[in-house]
């Protein structure tokens, strides 16, 4: 009744921002991401009668009752129901990157838990079921089940059975695609994505236009990825990010994840591009800026980013593998 898995984080090229069903974690729009090589969670799960409630230990510290623990316990309860078991679980998970700072640790953690938890409960799930299960913990986790370039299809059914990820191209398809992740702050963000997106749906006057414009970005990204067209993918992703930010900024009260270092990175990307370099930026629910480029330019771009005041760290990552079981247990 114990199993372990690893899953990489992912960065969206077309963002998920807003839910049509908060309980089943169903999104208003489809999204596309790249699974990031080397930025992963390693998770071990055990169901046992000796536990009186679910215990979750993240990066060495037990999670108190609250939002972060709830993401995990909701998924564990779904697993219990699917497996028809009564036992509670102990979960130990370690991340290789700063938690809750816009690097989607919930995506990797809950994708790894979908694998480890379902196996620990005696279930044998296919990738589609795993993606649906991961989604119940955190929407973006549905995408980390797969490697490479991934689409989370929003689905239309009210039970969520058609809202899951599919792979567009695996991690070996476009090997020289890179994201240069610029860490502009390692502090935990003040507004969690879950609360922020609900507030945008409720109050942003631009939310409807956001939803209407995402589908054409999805088409452009899929075509661009299959053609390995950096300009098409980068420019569509950058514009998609700015449209999501327009809904964030116009939310009441406003959601502004950028800090001065994020802004400096963004301006540097625009300047590099004016000088002929093919690079584009995207940001998520945090101050980190990810620069989309090709491997041949990534070193120069990473060195430029590291020199920017306020940039604490720079990580270069390419397309990574999907979630998989590992033998090493964490307890």
**List of residues contacting ligand 2P0 (CB under 6 A):** 12, 15-17, 25, 31, 104, 106, 138-140, 193-194, 284-285
Nearer to ligand 2P0, 15 or 297 (CB): 15
Nearer to ligand 2P0, 241 or 305 (CB): 241
Instruction: Compute the distance between CA of residue 140 and CA of residue 267 in angstroms, rounded to an integer.
Output: 28
- Cβ contact 19:197 at 8 Å: yes
- DSSP 8-state symbol, 29: S
Task: Name the nearest CA neighbour of 250 among 180, 178, 329, 196.
Answer: 196
- Minimum CB distance to ligand 2P0, residue 96 (Å): 18
**Can you tell me the distance from the alpha carbon of 320 to that of 37, in angstroms, rounded to the nearest whole number?**
4
The b-or-e profile of 80-104 (16+ CB within 10 A means b, else e) is bebbebebbbbbbbbbbbbbbbbbb
User: In terms of CB distance, is 15 or 54 closer to ligand 2P0?
Assistant: 15
Residue nearest to ligand 2P0 (CB): 139
**Structure tokens given for 172:** 């070996």
Closer residue to ligand 2P0 in complex, CB, 34/120:
34
Closest approach of ligand 2P0 to the CB of residue 3, in Å: 23
State the nearest-atom distance from the C-beta of 17 to ligand 2P0, in Å.
6
- Minimum distance of ligand 2P0 from residue 285's CB (angstroms): 4
Kindly tell me which of 43 and 138 has the beta carbon lying closer to ligand 2P0. 138
**Smallest distance, Å, CB 329 to ligand 2P0?**
26
Which is closer to ligand 2P0, CB of 107 or CB of 272? 107
In sequence order, the 6+-apart residues with CB closer than 8 A to the CB of 164 are 128, 131, 132, 135, 142, 152, 153, 155
Q: Are the beta carbons of 44 and 4 closer than 8 angstroms?
A: yes
Residue 229 beta carbon to ligand 2P0: minimum distance, rounded to whole angstroms: 21
């Amino acid at each position: 009744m114990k199993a372990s898995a690893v899953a990489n984080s992912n960065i969206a090229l077309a963002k998920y921002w807003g839910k049509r069903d908060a309980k089943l974690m169903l999104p208003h729009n489809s999204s596309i991401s790249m699974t990031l090589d080397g930025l992963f969670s390693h998770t071990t799960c055990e169901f046992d009668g000796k536990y009186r409630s679910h215990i979750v230990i993240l990066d060495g510290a037990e999670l108190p009752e609250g939002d972060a623990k709830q993401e995990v316990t909701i998924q564990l309860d779904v697993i219990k129901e699917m497996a028809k078991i009564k036992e509670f679980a102990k979960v130990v998970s370690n991340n290789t990157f700063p938690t809750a700072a816009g690097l989607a640790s919930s995506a990797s953690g809950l994708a790894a838990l979908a694998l480890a938890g379902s196996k620990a409960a005696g279930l044998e799930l296919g990738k589609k079921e795993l993606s649906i299960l991961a989604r119940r913990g955190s929407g973006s986790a549905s995408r980390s089940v797969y490697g490479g370039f991934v689409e989370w299809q929003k689905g239309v059914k009210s039970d969520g059975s058609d809202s899951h990820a599919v792979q567009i191209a695996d991690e070996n398809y476009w090997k020289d695609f890179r994201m240069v992740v610029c860490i502009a702050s390692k502090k935990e963000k003040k507004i969690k994505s879950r609360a922020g997106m609900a507030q945008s749906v409720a109050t942003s006057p631009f939310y409807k236009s956001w939803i209407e414009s995402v589908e054409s970005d999805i088409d452009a990204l899929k075509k661009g990825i299959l053609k390995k067209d950096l300009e098409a993918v980068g420019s569509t992703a950058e514009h998609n990010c700015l449209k999501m930010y327009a809904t964030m900024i116009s939310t009441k009260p406003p959601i502004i994840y950028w800090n001065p270092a994020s802004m400096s990175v963004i301006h540097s990307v625009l300047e590099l591009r004016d000088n002929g370099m093919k690079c584009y930026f995207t940001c998520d629910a945090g101050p980190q800026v990810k620069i989309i480029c090709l491997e041949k330019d990534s070193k120069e771009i990473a060195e430029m980013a590291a020199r920017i005041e306020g940039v604490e760290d720079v990580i270069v990552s390419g397309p990574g593998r999907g979630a998989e079981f590992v033998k090493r247990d964490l307890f």
